Amino acid sequence: MWKLQRIERSGGDAIVVQEPERYTLEFLAGGRVAIRADCNRGSGAFTLGESTLSFGAIATTRAACPPESLSDRYLQYLGAATSYRLVEGRLVIGTKTNGENLVFAK
């Protein structure tokens, strides 16, 4: 299971995730993915290429997370995923939203 560590933004500043266990990504057999987005859980499909990654529609619960939650932003960025790479044991998912990257650790 991958845990979100930070969201790197094109301006150079990053959003550091204080509780990585609340933002997870688990790749399952059959091209499926299980997701935790703070107070919500979900699942969907993913497509993986040599360096490309995309997610299909992700169905999630709709609990109201606290205002400081990154849940909506996290799901938005996953939906905009275009690429991935492994860097020093970390999974970096690139998005098409102004160059943001999601950085995960095991």
Task: Provide the whole-model pTM.
Answer: 0.94
Distance of CA 96 to the CA centre of its chain: 13
Amino acid letter, residue 73? R
11: pLDDT strictly greater than 80: no
9: pLDDT strictly greater than 80: yes
| 68-101 residue pLDDT tens | 999 999 999 999 999 999 999 999 999 998 789 9
| 13-39 residue pLDDT tens | 899 999 999 999 999 999 999 999 999
**53-69 b/e with 16+ CB inside 10 Å = b?**
bbbeebeeeeeeeeeeb
Residue 97: what pLDDT? 81
Domains belonging to the chain, first-starting first, are 2-105 (2.40.128.270)
Decide if 59 contacts 43 (C-beta within 8 A).
yes
